[in-house]
Amino acid sequence: MELTTNSGATVSVSEVAFGREYNESLVHQVVTAYLSTARQGTKAQKNRAAVSGGGAKPWRQKGTGRARAGTSRGPIWRKGGVTFAASPRSFEQKVNKKMYRAAMQSILSELVRQERLVVAEEFTIDSHKTKDFVAKMEELQLSNVLIIAEDLDEKLYLASRNVPHVAVTEAGAVDPVSLVAFNKVLVTVSALKKLEETLG
């Protein structure tokens, strides 16, 4: 299939990587798994077994007029353990390579269909100043955009890092969450070929 660049030229790309039918359930599963993997899962509380103290029976079983108690570290006591204490856990979900590749192909294909994928011959700026980057964005009429380059240029990174709703990444570091998070995705021809090589 053919994609048209912003300068009017055409680029041939793989039908497998950029012409796949959209699979919403697969994309949802992969995006959810990707976000879950980023969760720390370090929340921890102490149950009655983990709280120090409480080994001795607070008072005798009968004759005091008070409710029977076997420990002073039960959940209803001050300094007691938590009833259903949280413990560290992993939120990681298994996604095999074939599923991940298919989801990425599905997302890129949908971006092409919705005309949200903008292909540029190249994307560079001469300085690391933010105002120069903003001017270039206004020239291309782009605002909420993910920029994918073959290799991360230091000037481009420095110029764009303080601009809201803009992200710059390498072709090898593209993830499904970034692709669906922005209104537009600007990709250079060299980065497009690298993506095609990886996903084709």
Structure confidence at residue 87 (pLDDT): 95
Q: What value, to the nearest 5°, has the Cα angle with vertex 8 and ends 7 and 11?
A: 100
pLDDT digits (tens, 9 = 90+) for 31-48: 999 999 999 999 999 999
Helices (H) and strands (E) in the chain, counts: 7, 6
Structure confidence at residue 5 (pLDDT): 84
Q: Cβ distance 199 to 191 under 8 Å?
A: no
Q: What is the mean pLDDT of the chain?
A: 93
Residue holding tokens 């969450």?
177
Q: Is the pLDDT of residue 200 over 80?
A: no
Amino acid code (one letter) for 136 = K
Measured distance CA(72)–CA(76) in Å, rounded: 9
CATH architecture assigned to 2-25+95-199? 3-Layer(aba) Sandwich (3.40)
pLDDT digits (tens, 9 = 90+) for 124-181: 888 899 999 999 999 989 989 999 998 888 899 999 999 999 999 999 899 999 999 9
Structure confidence at residue 7 (pLDDT): 81
Give domain limits for the chain.
2-25+95-199, 40-90
